Amino acid sequence: MKPTNNTILITGGCTGSGLAIAQKLANRGNKVLITGICKHKLADAVLHNPNIIPLHFDVSTEEGVNQLADKVLAEYPQLNIFINNAGQDYRNSQIFEATPCKERLASGYLAGIYISEMLLPLLQKNRNSAIIDLSPVTISHTLNQQPLFSEVVKSIVSYFNMLRYSLRQVANINIFDAVSLGITELSKQETIATRVSELFNQEPFVLAATGVEAYFHYNNNYSLLAESN
């Protein structure tokens, strides 16, 4: 992917690893749209970087997702990268017990799928497009190791694997995930941001003709990105 002049949407981009990614990519000359539900955190995130644009939407609601998609499609038709990073970090937090289960599921699971589906036609039209799914890491923080949500992680990984397979013959869009980037729930924010930003230093990714495997060149070595059989 090209290192600069991208238009990038990052959900959950006003704090934590989302903000760290946004700052790294914005400093390279990319236009970075970040979403969040806290206005003062959004304001702080963009204070010293004109390349970061705040979007105040709650993606744990269907209305918020629809409004976000409508705004992006209408005002940022050049968007070519979506980084799925939404989800509240509930580790060591009393907020976890007070937050309804459906909201945790909506922000950590459904939002990424809905937004991907709504933006897919635009991403397919633009060049050097990609979806980067960090939800397994976000969900592991968001859902506090509850057994139900380990199945949620499997479901969303399965969705993006199937999306990758369905797009195997589309040359200008690629799907990446946390596992392929060596990112886990134990990774530090700076490590996550560095791994994601390194994607933008690479040559265009090549999908195998069979659609079964996707490889990318990383640190001069070819690594397996995904198995979609």
Position with higher pLDDT, 154 vs 2: 2
Most confident of 8-22, 102-116, 168-182: 8-22
With a cut of 80, say whether residue 24 has pLDDT above it. Answer: yes
Higher per-residue pLDDT: 98 or 113: 113
Q: How many residues does the chain have?
A: 229
Q: What pLDDT digit, counting tens, does each position of 62-97 carry?
A: 899 999 999 999 999 999 999 998 765 444 444 444
Query: Percentage of residues in the chain with pLDDT exceeding 70?
Result: 71
Look up residue 94 and give its amino acid: Q
The backbone torsions φ and ψ at residue 228, rounded to the nearest 5 degrees and listed phi first, read -120, 25
Torsion of CA 23, 220, 84, 144, to 10 degrees: -100
Asked whether 72 and 78 are in contact (CB, 8 A), the reply is no
What is the chain's mean pLDDT, rounded?
Answer: 78
What is the C-alpha to C-alpha distance for residues 82 and 177, in angstroms, rounded to an integer?
A: 12
> Which pLDDT belongs to residue 103?
55
Euclidean distance between CA atoms 133 and 174, whole angstroms = 11
Whether 39 shows a pLDDT value over 70: the answer reads yes
Helices within the chain (DSSP H only): 16-26, 39-45, 62-75, 95-98, 101-105, 111-125, 135-142, 147-166, 189-198
Burial of 217 (0-12, 13-18, 19+ CB in 10 A): middle
**pLDDT, greater one: 136 or 167:** 167
pLDDT band at 146 (very low <50, low <70, confident <90, very high): low
Of 215 and 181, more confident: 181
User: Which one has a higher pLDDT value, 66 or 105?
Assistant: 66
Which residues have a Cβ under 8 Å from the Cβ of 90 and sit 6 or more positions away? 96, 99, 104, 141, 142, 143, 144
**pTM over the 0.75 mark:** yes
Name the pLDDT band for 217 (thresholds 50, 70, 90): very low
Instruction: Give me the pLDDT at residue 130, please.
Output: 94
